[in-house]
Structure 1
Amino acid sequence: MNYFLENEEYYEKRGSVYGYDDDPARWALLCRGCLEFVKNFPEWRPDIIVANDWQGGLIPNFIKTEYENDSIISKIASVFVIHNLSYQGNFDHRYVSELDYDDGQSAIPAITDPRLSKANFMRRGIRYADVINTVSPTYAREITTPEYGELLGDLLQERRSRLFGILNGINYETYDPETNPYVEYKYNADELEEKVKNKKILQQKFNLPEEKDTFVVGVISRMSDQKGIDLIADVIEPLLDNFNFQLVALGTGDSKFISFFNELDKKYKQVATHLSFDNILPHTIYAGADAILIPSRFEPCGLTQMEAMRYGVVPIVRKIGGLADSVKDHTSENDPGTGFVFDNYDKFAFSGTFMRAYEIYKYPKVWREIQRRAMRENFSWEKSAREYEKLFHRALNQFNQ
């Protein structure tokens, strides 16, 4: 059952969920409202409250301070889930003056207090939660380092005994090439011949030359530096000039990358783009493409590689965060892996790995085995849910110590 906190000014009258100057007040109200609801609703009392990202970061803080003597709330454990550490509030945490710095230990300012806009909700969630979780095991380790800790690495190191990582999952009913209504020719890991027919559908949809043996590569992404789009921009033109493949790009984001892909589309007949949000076209691309590019600068989890693998699209990824946890590198015919992986964030490593995939594609038997292994990986929420059950028991154990 779902419950909603109603407030015309802060919620109902807004055109979108995020992006307002008073977001700190809106999320502080939601956090406080959640706890007041639990306190005053005797029919149901949770053992654990799961708070997500900076928007929910005040919940653990409130529980351990404002409600520490409350007979109801003080008995509830908290789990704080970090989906992306780089988002810490309505300000750039990398450029905070000494006067505005929030150590996370002072009292939470009132909703009408201007100081609330400088409070670091992410820091407070990390500091006060009984257990902290991120969306992949590798990301959980990375954020304790200076390179990926976003200035919270020291605090996360202090609390590393309570820090865990569980890989996100995908909906296996929605992302199923055997049943998805947007897949023209249904297929599975044992009938990959049908997937080839979907390549023609994809090429027709994007007005690309209909060539069934051409290597078709997809990009389905938020167009941002985090997603490694700058690496793609660095290497894609020399690759297009020298090798025979097609590129289909879908997504929206930073204007500099939107402009780049627009120009690329005009320049090359083997490039097609759709640079706006669409929730149907990804299925068409997954069904028809051979490989997908995900060269992220950092990646807490990533879902695109899981969705692509479910459709037998071979991921070309950087070994970072959730990508490292979900894609196994192809090293030989005896160890075909589930994709192609590179380590260093530079154009040479990326282009070299692209070429490895391009050359292996010429050997259909080997490529099919990589596809099958990718399709048989288990990224279902059922698997992740079992890990969350263990995490919740840890949270209760920590709380009761």
Structure 2
Amino acid sequence: VHCNDWMTGLVPAAAREKGIKSIFTLHNVFTEYDSPASVDRMGIDVRRFMAHLFMADYPDAWRDNWNNNRIDFTASGIHAADIVNTVSPTFLYELVRGEFGAIVPPSVRAAIRTKDDNGRALGILNAPSDTVDPRLSKHIASYDETDVMEKKAENKIAFQERMGLRQDAQAPVFLWPSRIYDQKGPDLLFAIAKRMVDMHGAQIALVANGEPDMERKFQKLALQSNGRISQRYFREDLSELGKAGSDFVLMPSLYEPCGLPQMEGPRYGTLPVARLTGGLQDTVMPLDIEHDTGIGFTFEEFTAEALEGAMLRAIEFHRLPHEQRRKTLERIMRESFDRFSLANTAKQYIRVYESFLE
């Protein structure tokens, strides 16, 4: 049985009681709680597999605390599963090492560490859908690596028009593709956005929903930007056009279990600007023009200054001669389909499934 996140946290315990192997995949580290009595009222007889659950309050006296004990769903899933995996190797390493202390519930961290100590924890990198492809999209002027420069310019003008930005095919456009909330680092961008557009000619486009206060901040900033900053609520077609029409995709995350935009962007010739954490560290290799390697612009410290430095390096790349950039984007587009592939991810999960049959 393959389970995902706290919503399926009871399943590995029920499976273990029946002698069925399970893998529990963590896409996030959040958990939820409920009492045995409440779960029982939903029609799930937890008495049958209580021995395999992680109880938050009274692990040794659950019968005496039927109504006020709490089942920790994520920790239960980790505890009872035969194999636990995160959706990137580095995120597993960070959890085991004790990072993000204010974010990760102690019960979840303890359960993961125990699994890792026993050699039962893995990091399996996720990947974008095969349908994320500029050759296939109905929402853009389609293209591949052979006409990336020409079609990106065409898509950029269309995207700028949709976003209410100045129509300028030469402007370096940075796309914010993620929800506007703390984990994704919007405060870092907000702190430097005006400087980036005023002093360096950048445009910033946010195609995302998020925390109302932060949305309002960016909307106010956009009104003062003279058509160089814009925020629109997420729509699939607009997001797709943004990947095709932007030059860079912003991922300055505080933490990132995996992330997909930094793998999707390169398929469109849109290079990531990313903080080296979790799945971002596993996927975004620093761009090295001289040796023709890497795919993006990285930084380590979770500060606005570090993000600004990475964005400035991206702008330097954007100012390179047209044909030099074309060569780099052609390579990155070709490599991204092979490197970030659901087929590669599936092979790793299949190996886990096959190990259950041995």
Query: Where on the TM-score scale, by shorter chain, does this alignment land: which range?
Result: 0.7 to 0.9
Shift of 1:106: 5.1
CA distance in 1, matches of 2:175, 2:68: 45
Q: Name 1:138's counterpart in structure 2.
A: 90
DSSP 3-state at the match of 1:284 = helix
- Contact 1:258–1:275 (CA<8 Å) still a contact in 2? no
DSSP 3-state at the match of 1:132 = strand
Q: Name 1:264's counterpart in structure 2.
A: 221
Q: Name 2:147's counterpart in structure 1.
A: 191
1:6-17 residue pairs with structure 2 within 5 A?
none
Instruction: Pick the aligned partner of 1:383 from 332, 344, 352.
Output: 344
Shift of 1:277: 3.0
Is 1:297 the equivalent of 2:254?
Answer: yes
Q: Name 2:23's counterpart in structure 1.
A: 79
Q: Name 2:210's counterpart in structure 1.
A: 253
- Contact 2:88–2:126 (CA<8 Å) still a contact in 1? yes
Q: Name 2:129's counterpart in structure 1.
A: 171
Q: Name 1:241's counterpart in structure 2.
A: 198
Residue identity matched to 1:333? E
CA distance in 2, matches of 1:131, 1:104: 25
Shift of 1:163: 0.5
Deviation sequence 1:364-394 (CA, Å, 0-9, x none): 3443344233322132212211111012223
Cα gap change, 1:331 to 1:108, in 2 (>3 Å): farther
Deviation sequence 1:185-235 (CA, Å, 0-9, x none): 221112212222111111222222221111111111111110111111122
TM-score calculated relative to the size of structure 2: 0.85
Is 1:115 the equivalent of 2:68?
Answer: yes
- Contact 1:292–1:313 (CA<8 Å) still a contact in 2? yes
1:2-401 residue pairs with structure 2 within 5 A?
49-64=1-16, 68=17, 73-74=18-19, 76-85=20-29, 87-89=30-32, 102=56, 105=59, 114-115=67-68, 118-148=70-100, 150=104, 151=106, 152-160=108-116, 161-173=119-131, 175-183=132-140, 185-192=141-148, 193-363=150-320, 364-376=322-334, 377=336, 378=338, 379-397=340-358
Q: Which has the higher helix share?
A: 2
328-337 or 293-302, larger mean C-alpha shift = 328-337
- Contact 2:164–2:230 (CA<8 Å) still a contact in 1? no
CA distance in 1, matches of 2:348, 2:58: 29
Shift of 1:148: 3.2
Residue identity matched to 1:373? R
Shift of 1:309: 1.5
Cα gap change, 1:290 to 1:77, in 2 (>3 Å): same
Shift of 1:284: 0.9
Shift of 1:131: 0.3
368-377 or 258-267, larger mean C-alpha shift = 368-377
Cα gap change, 1:105 to 1:384, in 2 (>3 Å): farther
CA distance in 2, matches of 1:389, 1:301: 19
365-374 or 187-196, larger mean C-alpha shift = 365-374
CA distance in 2, matches of 1:344, 1:392: 38
RMSD of aligned C-alpha atoms? 2.4
Cα gap change, 1:131 to 1:396, in 2 (>3 Å): farther
DSSP 3-state at the match of 2:147 = coil
Cα gap change, 1:396 to 1:289, in 2 (>3 Å): same
Cα gap change, 1:60 to 1:365, in 2 (>3 Å): same
CA distance in 1, matches of 2:247, 2:221: 20
Shift of 1:158: 2.0
CA distance in 2, matches of 1:53, 1:339: 30
Cα gap change, 1:218 to 1:243, in 2 (>3 Å): same
Deviation sequence 1:250-299 (CA, Å, 0-9, x none): 11111121111111111102334344231211111111111111100000
Gaps of 5+ in 2: 35-54
- Contact 2:269–2:332 (CA<8 Å) still a contact in 1? yes
- Contact 1:220–1:282 (CA<8 Å) still a contact in 2? yes
CA distance in 1, matches of 2:209, 2:182: 12
Q: Name 2:50's counterpart in structure 1.
A: none
Percent of residue pairs identical: 31
CA distance in 1, matches of 2:127, 2:61: 37
Cα gap change, 1:114 to 1:305, in 2 (>3 Å): farther
Residue identity matched to 2:97? T
